[in-house]
Amino acid sequence: MAASPRIAVLQLSPAHGAPLENAARVQQMTSHLKRGEVDLLILPEMALSGYIFPTPASIEPSLERLSTRSSSSRTSSSSPTQALCSSLARRLECYVLCGLPALLAHAFSSSSASSAAFDARPSEPSPSGSGRSNAGEEGAYNAALLLDRTGEAVHVFRKHFLYEADEAWACEGPGFEFVDLPKPLGRLAVGICMDLNPYRFQAAFDSFELASFCVRNHVDTLALPMAWLKPEVEDEEQASAKSEAAEGQSEGELEQDARQAQHQAQQMIHYWLLRLTPLLEAPHRCVVACANRVGQEGGTVFGGSSCVLQVGGGDVRVKGWMCEEEALLVVDP
């Protein structure tokens, strides 16, 4: 890849079940970006809906129906994510990728450049709770929508490896995919959070399914919308108490908390790099962008640590990273 893309990663703390409120927050957080300033803007997994839905019935009101034409008058009501991202893409003249819960048929793509899905799951059937859908069926998916610079839908990537929270309602996506985009983005692959882990935490750790897929296909850019949990998660009462106590902390105590947050972020990024081992060792350089969320839902606390990395040739370059703050990270080549 001749030049690295300019990437913006939004680290958001969405309010659960409040897509319009969250969309307004995204618009506010990106309002200072100028037209043509970035090539790709990435939002987290299920960025507008929130993440924890314990039953199919609980997520049903949040499932979005996507339009093959983003300018459709029905887009705003049927898919607040598509409406938001189409607006952002047109205003900024950049590609936009955002996670969402979607009701989809077996295929949704307006791009002839998208690859066939590569199924990296074991050959044994998955448990019924993680529902593999038949080709002609419509199903609920944890998905990521990619739009082009004109705001039109390019492709919908579907989460291939489900986390336990997804298994309550989502179908497994058919496989890892990539799309070929204009330089400097080049060949773009997308993984959604758990896609970076071993399948169901049961496959061999050194299979490195997603990273190996990227190496085989000479992927230039890997984008990872996430709702990755914080290590050693505090429960809700502890997190709230810590937030309240911070108001009365001394400068030294605040510095200690900041160092701890940095250490936790570095731990998470180190683990993600471990899961990217084949890409690190490959001669072909790849830009990896992780867009994780922050905040909490009930007792679930999310870890932030969003980052942009350049890997390959045995080398890792950290282009930018965050801790637990709600913020926008913009990385130039």
Q: Which residues of 225-247 are buried (b: 16+ CB within 10 A; e: fewer)?
A: bbbbbbeeeeeeeebeeeeeeee
Say what the pLDDT of residue 251 is: 62
Mean pLDDT of 239-265: 65
Say what the pLDDT of residue 113 is: 64
pLDDT band at 259 (very low <50, low <70, confident <90, very high): confident
Say what the pLDDT of residue 126 is: 54
The one-letter code for the residue type at 205 is F
Say what the pLDDT of residue 254 is: 55
pLDDT band at 13 (very low <50, low <70, confident <90, very high): very high
Pick the CATH number of 7-123+134-331 from 3.60.110.10, 1.10.150.120, 3.40.50.720, 3.40.140.10: 3.60.110.10
Q: Tell me the C-alpha distance between 23 and 98, whole Å.
A: 11
Say what the pLDDT of residue 77 is: 67
Whether the predicted pLDDT of 125 surpasses 50: no
- Helix axis angle, 80-92 to 19-29, nearest 10°: 10
More confident residue, 289 or 260: 289
pLDDT band at 247 (very low <50, low <70, confident <90, very high): low
The one-letter code for the residue type at 169 is W
**CB neighbours of 168 closer than 8 A, spacing ≥ 6?**
53, 54, 55, 56, 129
Question: What is the average pLDDT value for the chain, to the nearest integer?
Answer: 89
Q: Which helix (H) or strand (E) segment is 323 a member of?
A: none
Whether the predicted pLDDT of 14 surpasses 80: yes
**Domain-wise residue ranges, the chain:** 7-123+134-331
Tokens at residue 178, please?
Answer: 């990539």
The string of pLDDT tens digits covering residues 127-152 is 544 454 544 578 999 999 999 999 99
The string of pLDDT tens digits covering residues 59-77 is 999 999 998 665 544 456 6
Residue 10 in contact with residue 223, Cβ under 8 Å? no
Say what the pLDDT of residue 252 is: 62
Whether the predicted pLDDT of 53 surpasses 60: yes
The string of pLDDT tens digits covering residues 166-190 is 999 999 999 999 999 999 999 999 9
pLDDT band at 332 (very low <50, low <70, confident <90, very high): confident
The string of pLDDT tens digits covering residues 19-43 is 999 999 999 999 999 999 999 999 9
Which residue, 56, 83, 73, 207, is CA-closest to 145? Answer: 83
pLDDT band at 236 (very low <50, low <70, confident <90, very high): very low
Radius of gyration (Cα) for the chain, nearest Å?
19
Whether the predicted pLDDT of 108 surpasses 70: no
Say what the pLDDT of residue 288 is: 98
Q: Going by DSSP bridges, is the β-strand pair 221-225/187-190 parallel, antiparallel, or unpaired?
A: parallel
Say what the pLDDT of residue 221 is: 98
Q: Which residues lie across from 223 on neighbouring strands?
A: 190, 289
Say what the pLDDT of residue 109 is: 58
pLDDT band at 78 (very low <50, low <70, confident <90, very high): confident
Say what the pLDDT of residue 240 is: 52
Is the pTM higher than 0.75? Answer: yes
Say what the pLDDT of residue 261 is: 80
The string of pLDDT tens digits covering residues 192-216 is 999 999 999 999 999 999 999 999 9
